[in-house]
Structure 1
Amino acid sequence: MADGQLTATGPHPVSAARIAVRIGLIYLAARALTTTLLLIAAQLSGAGSRMGEGADLGDVVVAWDGQWYWYLAETGYPAELPRTESGQVAENAWAFMPLFAYLAKLVGMPFGHWAVGAFLVSILAGYGASVVLYHLLRSRLDDPAATWAVVFFAFAPLAPLFQVGYAESLNLLWLFLALWCVMRRRYAWLYALIPLMAFTRPGVLAFSLFLALFGLWRWFRRDREPLPAREIFHIVTLGLLAAAVGFAWQVLAGWVTGEPGAYLATELAWRRNWLPGDAAFFPFEGFVSAAGFWFGTMWRLPPVLGYLVLAASVLAVAAALLFVPQVKRVGVEVRLWSASYLVYLLLVFFPQSSIFRLLVPLSPLWGAVAAPRSLAWRIGVLVACIAGQWWWIYNMYAMGDTASRVP
């Protein structure tokens, strides 16, 4: 059962405690480096930066979306949608799910500040996600490869998210646990994990698609791995649950505000930072519009080039998920999740600088990057991760002064 292997490879299993300590040391080293880079960025922050002059680490934690989560935790959600002078729905808290904001507030109460709670929730969830990622990949890869994948994850260009007021690290913890449960066929835990994902960050609809594809895969290979009725029940029920909670926030926002399209209108309010005027949502429209906007309006290139690059990128990613041996080694569950999440982004997202952050849920693919055994390759990837991390921190925090520098 090559694709469905559920046990760790290698002759010498390592105890869970030793793994936790090893991952902890890697994670602490990564966070020390990130803290140093964030301190440098805070010192470089000027009057035009989002953080302003004289910034410190506290300002970093609550910068950008961190400020929105903080505001949400203190004031809650508006019962009436705010409007711009032209009558359009303005940016507001309905774009942000509640779990991270209120959990950070609870954790921060003994310290007297939400930012402390946000930092603790993010950094602890990031460590938990790192440990789970190791176990998730260890069922497909050997110990060195799984460990190096965690190294890349902990030092990745977007690793600063593990210590700022963003919900990403908490969502990654739920996601990796959910994928691990699917890989081990332990479905009962998903009845809790799926709602936790749904109310931490948008994107649980991608997990619903993943379960549908996973169910089809299990059905077509049931002659090699038996598919009992109870497993069919869990996969179908959990897929429907993910779809239901994925739309629940839109229903709730509409019910509280009295406007059925409240959530969608709120999300589209952010798009006006790039495309002024009224915007309408159609599946795939965001990427198509962005291809024309970035290549045509911003970069003064033929818009058709943007459409060709978009099409070529989709085909290249699909080919990598289907045929690249290193990607195939991480397991069909990770590949199906990656495909499902990318389809979800294509359906709903307008790509801009935040696309790097939106790709973080694809982190299990670090296993494919770590699969080659060459030490030179692995060191080179680590150096590239650190360089990318500084590039991202410098642009999003030290500079952070234009719509093209939004984390």
Structure 2
Amino acid sequence: MAHGVLTAARRWARTPIAARIAAIYVLARLVTTALLGLAASLSGPASRFGPEAGIDDFVVGWDAQWYWLVAVEGYPSELPLTEAGTVAENAWAFMPVYAYLARIVGVPLGSWGAGALVISLAAGYAACLALHRLLRGRIGSAPALWAVAFFASGPLAALFQVGYAEALFVMMLLFALDAVQRRRYGILYALIPIMAFTRPGILAFALFLGLHGILRWVRRDREPLRRVEVVHILLLGALATVTGFAWQVIAGLVTGDAGSYLATELAWRRAWGMGEDGFVPFEGWIQAAQFWFSHWGMPGWWGLVALVLLVAGATAALLFAPSVRRLGADVRLWSASYLLYLLAVFFPQSSTFRLLLPLTPLWGAVVPRRRAYRFAVLVLCIAGQWLWIYHVYALGNTFWQVP
């Protein structure tokens, strides 16, 4: 038996890395499919999916309906209004790339949902390849493979099998971070505009490029900074900034209302009793900290203390945690940039966990050294995945169960 295990291990080690990642990814998708099937069997009359729910219903559920609506009807030229006269939730909150790409892919497959599923599945596998490539030079090939396993099986792994744009965006993001890490800036001219119209977040990448450029300037004695690289970083930062605001401009031109995009985003906050005074950077987290702690029966000011501790803890981890420092400066700068972006623009609610998916490179920081502990982390990932799937799909009937 020991000889058989050793032989299998040697064959596994000789297998091309793309095939090993494919095997891990396929196994992870089978697990997710089983969990989604179980959730469908547990879906009852109280769930938005009903007692006859199937996995196909989950694929086009929740925000996937908005992407489908974009693909079928496009964007409204007149903003819908609530009875109170405020802007109602509408399609302008959802970027066009994933929606229309799913429509194109879905034509030969017979439906938009089928196209969305294929794109998410394919993008998830490509993201796994990019994650391994990004991490292997920092933590080694074997630990990077474990990071891929955690990513493919993690609490948010269902996003690889539903009609959400996250998998596609994260795939491009990981390739972009790898390009920056390898100083191959040229590919970013293609990636940045596509990312910008896939889902919000490209402004965080603009901040990251700025910080990356500053760090390279500071370290130019250790790593020469060529003039052409300075030009690339400046141009790419400008491109990310311009495309980051482009969707707001487009929405304004189509609707005739310059503030239409921000008003649309704030429509989701109004459902929580927030956002009536317009958008104020960083206000969302302050409001949410007080809201949630009051909702849980605790003083609202406890939430503010918890928020300060959360920010301080995240900052300390990015600056000082050895496992995070091993990932390299670019991963840490991206993580800090994205967290600051979320802190500035987001109102924390049930979608918070989904919006953390762009922090995927940090999986490399949680790979234990001992194999037994690695399997333990993998089990926890799958358990977390079931917890997420159970609440947002099997139950999915209240405000804190929206993915």
TM-score range, shorter chain: over 0.9
Count of aligned residue pairs for this structure pair:
392
- Aligned partners of 1:406, 1:259: CA distance in 2, in Å? 29
Alignment partner, residue 346 of structure 1: 343
Aligned to 2:401: 405
**Structure 1 residue 279 displacement after superposition:** 4.2
**Is the contact between residue 68 and residue 99 of structure 2 (CA under 8 Å) also seen in structure 1?**
yes
Matching residue within 12, 16, 19 for 1:18: 16
2:335 matches 1:357: no
Alpha carbons 1:61, 1:165 under 8 Å: kept: yes
Shift of 1:43: 1.4
How far apart are the structure 2 equivalents of 1:203 and 1:308?
Answer: 27
Are 1:309 and 2:306 matched, yes or no? Answer: yes
- Alignment partner of 1:378 is 2:383: no
Q: Look up the SS of the partner of 2:139 in the other structure.
A: coil
Note the residue ranges of structure 1 that are not aligned, 5 or more in a row: 1-13
State the alpha-carbon separation in 1 of the partners of residues 65 and 14 from structure 2: 37
Regions of 4+ moved over 4 Å: 14-17
Task: Give the AA of the match of 1:193.
Answer: L
Q: 1:119 aligns with which of 113, 117, 120?
A: 117
Is the CA contact 1:268–1:279 (under 8 Å) kept in the aligned structure 2?
A: no
Is it true that 1:96 corresponds to 2:94 in the alignment? yes
Asked whether the 8 Å contact 2:98–2:198 carries over to 1, the reply is yes
Write the distance in 2 (CA, Å) between the matches of 1:208 and 1:276: 28
Matched residue SS, 1:140 = helix
Q: Establish whether residue 391 from structure 1 lines up as the match of residue 395 from structure 2.
A: no
Do 1:50 and 1:64's aligned partners in 2 also have CA atoms closer than 8 Å? no
Q: Distance in 2 between matches of 1:143 and 1:238?
A: 30
Alignment of 1:240-279 (within 5 A): 240-275=238-273, 278-279=276-277
Structure 1 position 307, deviation (Å): 0.3
What's the counterpart of residue 332 of structure 1?
329
Worse-matched range after superposition: 272-281 or 167-176: 272-281
Q: Which runs of 5+ in 2 are unaligned?
A: 1-11
- Superposition RMSD in Å: 1.3
- Report the CA distance shift for 1:157/1:110 in structure 2 as closer, same or farther (over 3 A): same
Equivalent position SS for 1:48: coil
Q: Percent identity?
A: 60
Report the structure, 1 or 2, having the larger helix content: 2
Q: Per-residue deviation at 1:50?
A: 2.1
CA contact (8 A) 2:284 2:348 kept: yes
Corresponding residue of 1:367: 364
Matching of residue 299 in structure 1 with residue 275 in structure 2: no
1:34 maps to what in 2? 32
CA contact (8 A) 1:293 1:303 kept: yes
Contact 2:267 2:275 in 1 (8 A): no
Q: CA deviation at 1:376?
A: 2.1
Q: 2:170 and 2:270 mapped to 1: Cα distance?
A: 29
Aligned match for 1:212, one of 210, 213, 217: 210
The residue identity in structure 1 corresponding to 2:383 is: A
Q: Look up the equivalent residue of 2:265 and give its one-letter code.
A: E
Mapped contact 2:266–2:275 kept (Cα < 8 A): no
Q: Deviations over 1:365-394 (max 9, x none)?
A: 000111x31112211111110110000000
- SS of the aligned residue for 1:179 comes to helix
* Superposed displacement of residue 277, structure 1: 7.2
State how far apart, in whole Å, the 2-side matches of 1:50 and 1:244 are.
39
Question: Which residue in the other structure is 1:185 paired with?
Answer: 183
User: Which residue does the alignment assign to 2:3?
Assistant: none
Instruction: Provide the TM-score with structure 2 as the length reference.
Output: 0.96
Instruction: Tell me the CA shift for residue 364 of structure 1.
Output: 0.3
CA offset at residue 111 of structure 1?
1.7
SS at match of 2:44: coil
Instruction: State the TM-score, normalizing by the size of structure 1.
Output: 0.95
What does residue 9 of structure 2 align with? none
Q: Is contact 1:291-1:310 (8 Å) kept?
A: yes
